[in-house]
Structure 1
């Protein structure tokens, strides 16, 4: 980035930074990527805000990116997924400054998910869900894309990470989400996985499940503040995704200070308490459920659901799942 500051002014202010003496940390936000520091320069108070710069995206830097990392430490591995901490610093004594996720071998679906793409807002009616979306979900489930979930549920992987667990037909477990670095509390992100396999998404929840959902909510909150005692329950928010990344019902538990990106945005995240309230106010008996309502959400233009279902519906073409 080219500076427009006159050279003499630039030299004067650049010389201030090495003279900054820390008094205390004021804040840490952007999921730990930005810090605000209070300090002094020549006995005068000053605030220094430091934010990690954007990654260089030229071919030379990207080609050498993976080989330039040091201190790579694995945090966990399950099926095709693995996650790590690593450092770009030359000093191995410096704390890691990168969180890495590796998907290997990946599929075309992963490539689409992580590619830059436009977004579209769609409204999924009960009819669209029953005729197109539910069969698509079934197709995805039989392709083995839930192996990593079943590895956890069946006790083959990540058992040392399980924070809380209840077994049985209405069993569930709590563990860190693979996108969390396991230490930065303001960016805390945990995952509640249900053991039962008949609930694929929020669409399968019915009035008859209300007591169970409330029990899960309470236990997930209790367990989180027990293992992280500096947290209070009202510092946590619980939500589910629709459409979810994978079709096995799960609940996200995050610190309320975690800055909302696309995964927490309206049109992607549904608050758990709002879902409970919606179920309680549905007309009908205990079989009334979330498959009876319309849901509006956004999709990437490269996603299968947009390309195979909503785009053909928009253009009056034939839907082929």
Structure 2
């Protein structure tokens, strides 16, 4: 986990072991062995893990896909519908049977409401890697591809209320946040990522992240924007969806 600012000085005190590697004039390099309290490694356990979980975390070559609106209807959507990746954990959060004490903010409206919760990757001990997720209450919105002008009230609520809640709770202004959706997402229930702008968060690259403010603007210009637009995303070599695109001559 990231070092907290107040603990940095402890790294150079006598209870930290330093092993000199090289010294040349004013420059030296060391191997540093900090005490246990400064050596925390955060872990997430998935148990029991399915074959899909295992594939998700394996290192693989990746390939860019250019998915048209027709490709989504003919290739991606049927593939998504054939999968059985459980999102019961999402419903547990929404129904408050799990993680209820971690909710930072909630708009309870069934159509345009959401819950805001810290992501597992953030331990909430420092703001450098601030990371929260807004999960909409409304079910059936799988991803960016499902969004139309009908969903603008929901998206505006997430953008505005999410920024206000983070400012109130953590003192971080909206201009210091990166607020975006993934395409493709890691799970198919609409959610929005809030990360510190200074944090190079996993999945914030241009081939995956779509700024929420841009999504709202696009839907205001064209209610069917995300049904028409060609979207680019990366797939790993072992992913079954890549094979579907290859069989269709699209990859």
Q: 1:268 aligns with which of 185, 189, 208?
A: 208
Structure 1: gaps of 5 or more residues: 1-30, 41-45, 53-87, 317-321
Matches within 5 A, 1:1-321: 32=2, 91=36, 94-95=37-38, 97-140=40-83, 143=84, 145-167=86-108, 168-229=110-171, 231-261=172-202, 263-282=203-222, 286=223, 288-307=224-243, 309-314=244-249
Distance between the aligned counterparts of 1:166 and 1:48, measured in 2? 54
Distance between the aligned counterparts of 2:29 and 2:152, measured in 1? 45
Task: For residue 299 of structure 1, report the CA deviation from its aligned partner.
Answer: 1.1
Count of paired positions: 235
After superposition, give the CA deviation of every residue in 1:19-61 in whole Å (9 maximum; x if it has no partner): xxxxxxxxxxxx72698x79x9xxxxx9999999xxxxxxxxx
Bigger proportion of residues as strand: 1
- Aligned with 2:232: secondary structure? strand
> TM-score normalised to the size of structure 2?
0.83
Task: For residue 90 of structure 1, report the CA deviation from its aligned partner.
Answer: 6.5
Task: For residue 169 of structure 1, report the CA deviation from its aligned partner.
Answer: 2.1
The question of whether the paired residues in 1 share the 8 Å contact of 2:4 and 2:126 is answered with no
Task: For residue 191 of structure 1, report the CA deviation from its aligned partner.
Answer: 0.4
> TM-score normalised to the size of structure 1?
0.66
- Aligned with 2:141: secondary structure? coil
Shift in CA distance, 208/160, structure 1 to aligned 2, threshold 3 Å = same
Task: For residue 260 of structure 1, report the CA deviation from its aligned partner.
Answer: 4.3
Distance between the aligned counterparts of 1:301 and 1:200, measured in 2? 23
Distance between the aligned counterparts of 1:243 and 1:129, measured in 2? 11
Which residue number in structure 2 is paired with residue 11 of structure 1?
none
